[in-house]
Amino acid sequence: MLKHELIYHHDSARLFERIAHQPWAMFLDSGQAINSATGKAGSQYGRYDIIVAEPFITLVTQGNITTITQKGELEVSEEDPFLLLKNCLKPYKTPKADVLFAGGAVGYFAYDLARRVEKLPSNAHPVAELPEMMIGIYDWAVLVDHREQRSWLLSYGFAAKTNEKWPMLQALFDAPFEASLKKEKFQVKTPVASNLPELQYSRAFAKVKAYITEGDCYQVNLAQRFSVEVAGDSWKMYQKLREINPAPFMAFMQLPLNAHENFQVLSDSPERFLQTNGDHVETRPIKGTRPRSGDAEQDLFYSKELLTSVKDKAENLMIVDLLRNDLSKTCMIGSVKVSQLFQLQSFANVHHLVSIIVGKLKPEKTSVDMLRACFPGGSITGAPKLRAMQIIDELEPHRRGIYCGAIGYISFDGDMDTNIAIRTAVICKNELSFYAGGGIVADSDVQKEYTETLDKASSFTTTTKFFTRP
């Protein structure tokens, strides 16, 4: 393995800035920027950042077709995208590494990739011609460990180009930090609009409650889509987002839409979907939300109210049971256990209830097998999962796209960490779009649920205000 220690920067954006505008550049960000509201370090739950660019293999799935590009050649397949990814990684399998990530697959799996896993209706409208999966396989990476305050440039040297470029990569990331000279600004040009404003949300909510009453389901995660016209450099928007609302599973991706233009993914997710470390498996579903308050007494009231809420605990428990079942598909019998229930985690804009479920991966299964078996995450569908997804497609006007899918990495040694792509925006063709939703159960109150979606959307609505014309 090639390994070169770099100067540690508390803010890894200083390292990513050097490649931020390259197609296929990705930043898996643990939210360690300084929070502008408090003046303190960012997310208390994050540790590692991963920076990659220049993949030597790419996989892009659109509809039934996956295009694999490597060594300048294209291969087109209708095979299961998860199987294709698994096969692409297989030749590069390495023993368990002594670092978190030194190369492997990084990218996104959109919520709509579920159509390759389950049979779903097609009522909701696609909002953009974005791929359902975009994965790069990277032969070099920058890894930042904030706990140890150390950084490295790493590579297994699988691609000939990496060995040739290694001195240039060292020089690039060793160079003293200089603020970007790129003068293009970011601008929000219109008010934020929703595809499910309050009256329409109330009607969809009533239909969900009717389905629950009729016994179709126990819980459905109903979301609304927000959109706004924007212009300029999306990286600047992301930098402000991570400053005001740091979260442990953030990401910024610069991805090619076509030969002439890119689109960007900005994720501010607080939720882990699936992590594998050797044969150890973990998922951390979030269910239960209260807003934060600038008043310390009111903020404490919100957190205590959440911790003692019978409704929120019941909602969380439904999803815990669903995920125990999903993990059991690829974990050893008897190994799936709930290690923590109803843990309070507080972020910049909301309090959440988080539970932790662990298991032991079967020897014949891989992280990709695990991902496919659990996809999409149960915390953002409802229960039972398939029926909830059918109802979501009926009641939400637009497909979710990347929202509620997963973003993360699968290393060459087989380890994986992915988020649930909530609090996640896409900037494409001068439109910024993002979603916010919540789980509806039998005793849900429409006004409280609607307000909760606005609380969850606040990380983006607040950030857009910094770039809105006066």
* CB burial string 24-62: b at 16+ within 10 A, e below: bbbbbbbbbbebeeeeebbbebbebbbbbbbbbbbbbbe
Number of other residues whose CB lies within 10 A of the CB of residue 212: 20
DSSP H helices, 245-328, are 296-307, 310-328
**CA-to-CA distance for 90 and 167, rounded, in angstroms?**
28
* 119-to-113, 123, 329 alpha-carbon distances in Å: 11, 13, 19
Instruction: Give residue 470's pLDDT.
Output: 66
Q: Which residues contact 363 (CB under 8 A, 6 or more apart)?
A: 279
What tens digit of pLDDT does each residue of 260-314 get? 899 999 999 999 999 999 999 999 999 888 988 888 999 899 899 999 999 889 8
Match 């005793």 to its residue by tokens: 443
The CATH class for the domain spanning 2-178+188-465 reads: alpha beta
pLDDT value at position 348?
A: 77
262/307 Cα distance (integer angstroms): 43
- Amino acid 235 reads W
Share of the chain above pLDDT 90, in %: 81
Would you state the pLDDT for residue 184? 79
345 Cα distance to chain centroid? 18
Predicted structure pTM score: 0.95
Strands 431-440 and 424-428 turn out to be: antiparallel
Amino acid making up residue 139: D
pLDDT one-digit tens code per residue, 209-253: 999 999 999 999 999 999 999 999 999 999 999 998 899 999 999
Phi, psi (degrees; rounded to nearest 5) at 155? -160, 145
Domain boundaries, the chain: 2-178+188-465
pLDDT digits (tens, 9 = 90+) for 90-149: 999 999 999 999 999 999 999 999 999 998 888 888 877 899 999 999 999 999 999 999
Whether 240 is catalytic = no
Check residue 38 and give its pLDDT.
54
Contact 149, 8 (CB under 8 A): yes
Q: How far apart are CA 14 and CA 317, in angstroms?
A: 41
What percentage of the chain reaches a pLDDT higher than 70? 96
Strand ranges inside 318-371, DSSP E: 337-346, 350-360
Q: Is the dihedral of CA 199, 203, 204, 210 positive or negative?
A: positive
**Separation of alpha carbons 201 and 197, rounded Å:** 6
CA distance 295 to 301: 10
Residues 38, 41, 43, 44: is their CA dihedral positive or negative?
A: negative
Token pair belonging to 175: 């160079």
**Chain segment 438-458, per-residue pLDDT in tens:** 999 999 999 999 999 999 999
Q: Is the pLDDT of residue 35 over 60?
A: no
- Confidence category of residue 167, pLDDT binned at 50, 70, 90: very high
Give the Å distances, CA to CA, from 4 to 16, 99, 150, 377: 17, 13, 11, 37
The phi, psi pair for 228, rounded to 5°, reads -155, 145
pLDDT value of position 259: 83
Active site residue 287: yes
Catalytic residue among 17, 271, 315, 452: 271
DSSP type of residue 455: H
pLDDT of residue 126: 84
Q: What is the pLDDT of residue 469?
A: 75
Instruction: For residues 280 and 369, give the distance between their C-alpha atoms in angstroms, rounded to a whole number.
Output: 14
pLDDT score of 72 more than 90: no
154 φ, ψ to 5°? -130, 150
Residue 133's DSSP bridge partners are: 61, 109
Question: Given a cut of 90, is residue 33 above it in pLDDT?
Answer: no
**CA-to-CA distance for 407 and 418, rounded, in angstroms?**
5
Averaged confidence pLDDT in the chain: 93
Q: Which candidate in 240, 287, 313, 456 is catalytic? A: 287
| Two structure tokens written together for 193 | 């609009």
